[in-house]
Structure 1
Amino acid sequence: MILCIDAVLTLDELEQITTKLKVAEFVDGKLTAGWHTKEVKNNTQLKGDSIITQELRPIVHQALQRNRLFQAAIRPKVIRPVLFSYYEPGMYYGYHVDNALMGIPPMRSDVSLTLFLSSPDTYEGGELVIETSLGEQTFKLAAGSAIAYPSSTLHRVEPVTTGIRLAAITWIQSLIRDSNEREILFDLDTTKQVMFEKYGKTPEFDLICKTHANLLRKWVDI
């Protein structure tokens, strides 16, 4: 499931992040690339141990924690520390798949997330392209909005031709490993909320709740 989430950041949070990134020190993105992605990664990123990184990461993490759509659809168990990336004209990130295991101790990457920080009308190019069963799908969202997609997919960032593309990137290990199972649970959760708002607590609502809870018990990976 590919999920676009509007307004993950408030306007104040977005301004706070972008203002600090304007004066931040960025380094070669290849420093955190796997051996098989170094050849296709051409961008820069904020140093992981910088003071600005430590100040900005909690803002993004808190925004994800409070976002009900993200929580319901992704069911995060572990969220990796956020990486802030910077693309200027000529920079890109070619087709790659994200590492299955990340960090020490290792976590499994189930879901990749890109949080767009630059308004799409301030730069040309820089689209996120994800390979799906229906072909390539292209995304360039509003500043402060995010896209979550399976880490198992091939994806790339198109070359930036003008302007600056800023983004925050992270990876999530979900309580539900399988993306199809996550989508089923999300659909059921959405359905039961709509049913309750429309009809109240009915026998049909209780049956949906039972099914949702029992599938969660069956599939959860704690």
Structure 2
Amino acid sequence: MNISNYFWYFKSAIPPRICDMIVRYGKAEKEREVQAITGGYGRDRDLEKNPLTEDEIKDVKKKRDSNIVWMNDRWIYKEIQPYVHQANANAGWNYEWDYSEQCQFTIYKKGQYYDWHCDSWDKPYMIEGPTKGKIRKLSVTVSLTDPKEYKGGELEFDFRNEDPDKKPNIRTCTEILPKGSLVVFPSFVWHRVKPVTKGVRYSLVIWNLGYPFK
């Protein structure tokens, strides 16, 4: 899909106190902290009934190594969703969406990362519920940590979107380095989080869904 804007950002949009509240909340939910997985394992699988095997965990860590806590508190959505709507209009995407998945509070410690991937899949969700028949259309990442507290962990985009006939067109999203900054982008855009080399990087990710493009 050809687009003129691959992402839209808002610098220092979320107040520091809100960022700190989300971080405290995530860190306090230690018993709910789990290893992050990739979509191939978690999309239509009940991991409580059918947890990953040791071999599957090793396979996941080749692509992604981080820890997450799921959140679905209304006050968090109220802080973030208006920016998704605004970015959708400002960037000229105008995608129809009507549902946000659970918020993913992500913890990247030293050496942890998430290699190249896109958030969307080739088929809609099939599990019964509010996501059934819908696809991820807009992703949002919120920086919750002061950049002085960690090194590495850069968010990068590849605007060729894995097209083998094109040269890599990698862009580091330096715009969201300040604490409280956020970036919204179409979920089919390829991106990665480089390894953290010092400290801990906290972020919040939300995927926003709608029925497939017509």
Q: How does 1:46-195 map to 2 (within 5 A)?
A: 46=69, 48=70, 53-54=71-72, 57-67=73-83, 69-70=86-87, 72-73=89-90, 76-100=97-121, 101-102=124-125, 104-133=131-160, 135-140=169-174, 141=176, 142-173=178-209, 177=213
Pair 1:132–1:66, CA change in 2 (3 A)? closer
The DSSP-based 3-state class of the residue aligned with 2:207 is strand
Measured in 2, the distance between the counterparts of 1:3 and 1:162 equals 28
Structure 1 residue 13 displacement after superposition: 1.4
CA contact (8 A) 1:126 1:158 kept: yes
CA contact (8 A) 2:68 2:106 kept: yes
**Paired position in structure 2 for 1:27:** 34
Report runs of 4+ in structure 1 exceeding 6 Å deviation: none
The DSSP-based 3-state class of the residue aligned with 1:22 is helix
Structure 1 residue 71 displacement after superposition: 5.8
The DSSP-based 3-state class of the residue aligned with 1:143 is coil
Q: Which amino acid counterpart does residue 4 of structure 1 have in structure 2?
A: Y
CA contact (8 A) 1:116 1:168 kept: yes
CA contact (8 A) 1:34 1:99 kept: no
The DSSP-based 3-state class of the residue aligned with 1:152 is coil
CA contact (8 A) 1:130 1:154 kept: yes
Give the number of the structure whose residues are more often helix, by fraction.
1
Structure 1 residue 82 displacement after superposition: 1.1
Measured in 1, the distance between the counterparts of 2:63 and 2:192 equals 9
Q: Which amino acid counterpart does residue 138 of structure 2 have in structure 1?
A: V
Measured in 2, the distance between the counterparts of 1:71 and 1:110 equals 10
User: Which structure 1 segments of 5+ residues have no match?
Assistant: 178-220
Measured in 2, the distance between the counterparts of 1:71 and 1:152 equals 14
Q: TM-score normalized by structure 2?
A: 0.68
Structure 1 residue 77 displacement after superposition: 2.5
Question: How many residues of Structure 1 are paired with residues of Structure 2 in the alignment?
Answer: 170
RMSD value over aligned CA atoms?
2.7
Structure 1 residue 171 displacement after superposition: 1.3
User: Percent identity over the alignment?
Assistant: 22
CA contact (8 A) 1:8 1:63 kept: no
**Alignment equivalent of 2:21, drawn from 16, 22, 31:** 16
CA contact (8 A) 2:156 2:173 kept: yes
**Paired position in structure 2 for 1:44:** 67
Measured in 2, the distance between the counterparts of 1:5 and 1:127 equals 17
CA contact (8 A) 1:9 1:60 kept: no
Measured in 2, the distance between the counterparts of 1:175 and 1:8 equals 29
Structure 1 residue 131 displacement after superposition: 0.4
